[in-house]
A and B are shown apart, each in its own frame.
Chain A
């Protein structure tokens, strides 16, 4: 299984689309590694500087409809090669969410109240998330505070994470 623990980047915006996560001009790359320098290059968000803000990040927490737009799996790949395997948000666009689990990564929805709570306690502060995958709990820690938030993913998504993705799963079963 991939790593789902580490430093959190809070992105306080809804509808972050896959063109912003990885612009189309980089879709001509044929290796995932080549996408590494360009993650979130076109993100439209006041004060966001990818070089500075992505340093050491392993988890992204955001708002609604994360990953909307283009079906490009280059978006999860650009996250993956930057060692970000977990995105937590209020909800996700379907294709992005599926792409994440298909790669053995996680896109986990939490209620608006829980996301609000995480933002108000931790945004702008050095924060880490520790994922208890077996018991489905995230533990946020930062600024001397800690917060445990239970999460839900389907059995199917869980099996994709455990199998390391959809190709192996499907080839075994169909």
Chain B
């Protein structure tokens, strides 16, 4: 019997099987941010174990509320900052260099095929786009990861999502993943890895693969995962060119993190995306998804473009295509949060920031902020937001607010209209 990518990764990292199907695996990277790490740091100090297993494999960032908005968030940032300095964490990102963790760390080249990664953040599944096993964990797992470089997981069973067909104009990776989440349901993949395969995946950029894997957790999945290929190698090449004589050699090494043709999946779901239309969520669960045409005319107060799901340069380009030469509806507030300083700079250089500002957007610094209702765009009671983020839970972006999740192009078009609307009339023929 062959093995899945996840099984191969576990086999290469297992250090113990304490009981039954529990595997303790060694970690190639432990990512840390200022919301879930400070309590782990304080607990390690209280236990007299203020150490790290590896100064390089631990990466840290202040991203959720930055710059700090009040004394409490300033204190969280201070704890991170002092800890990173004291323990000499090599890669720590603070004001001026910081951005949304799941966009920043891949951009820095920290994620490689075959890696095992944890972070105290549920959207860690994003990094599976590189053919890695990457899982969100709580603070205690994070604390053990920081101290010992290990984490315990059940043996990974995998659900294969085989994507075929060609996306229609106006249909983006976000539409595809919302559709997949609606098929699986919010707990359809609990305790499972979701492996995305098929011709659609081969044609997607790394950014688009990250958008897909990012929302694996919205179906309960432990990690998203995409088989590494030449697109993966091209993306990583600036970081790995010293390790391999050429790209072919890198690819030959990385494709070993591909599932065998006779690997056992707990479920295989074939999804033809040819007929898929732009979609949006409604209600308070991410698996409640409708065609945008069925939600047409839902009035909006705010549109938000950003986050670990859709705050990357391709997302800004897609939204800017729609916004170019147009203005937001006077009843709608537009907020753009480029996910990283790199994205922000690229958007400036490409003239995208100007398009957003001319359309009437407020452009904020890179931060998670509004996505989880912490800062930079919190909703008031009864307000409605079209958002490129990942969760529409009750109260997520502010108590009593309603969030509709959608692609950047759909959010931009809806911002211009003042209500949820189909982006296709706003996209010129021949464009995405």
Interface positions of A (Cβ within 8 A of B): 15, 17, 19-20, 23-25, 27-30, 32, 42, 44, 64-65, 68-73, 76, 91-96, 98-99, 102-103, 154-156, 159, 165-167, 170-171, 173-174
Contact = CB atoms under 8 A, between A and B. Distances in A.
Query: In the complex, which range does the number of interface residues on chain B fall in?
Result: 35 or more
B143 A167 contact: yes
* Most interface-central of B24, B47, B75, B139 (chain A CB within 10 A): B139
Given A42-B394, A154-B20, A156-B20, A94 B152 contact: no
A159 B152 CA distance: 13
Given A166-B144, A167-B144, A70 B19 contact: no
Interface in B385-402: 391, 393-396, 399
* Most interface-central of B15, B79, B148 (chain A CB within 10 A): B148
A109 to B, nearest CB: 11
Contact of A94 (B16, B220, B395): B220
B251 to A, nearest CB: 32
Interface in B116-163: 120-122, 124, 136-141, 143-144, 147-148, 150, 152
B37 to A, nearest CB: 11
Interface string B10-24: 000001101110101
B255 interface: no
A22 B147 CA distance: 27
* Most interface-central of B20, B138, B220 (chain A CB within 10 A): B138
B231 interface: no
Top 8 A-B residue pairs of the complex, sorted by shortest distance between their CB atoms: A73-B138, A99-B138, A102-B140, A65-B187, A28-B72, A42-B395, A155-B19, A71-B122
Given A73-B138, A171-B49, A91 B187 contact: yes
B217 to A, nearest CB: 8
Given A42-B394, A102-B141, A174-B150, A25 B49 contact: no
A83 to B, nearest CB: 19
Contact of B39 (A30, A44, A171): A30
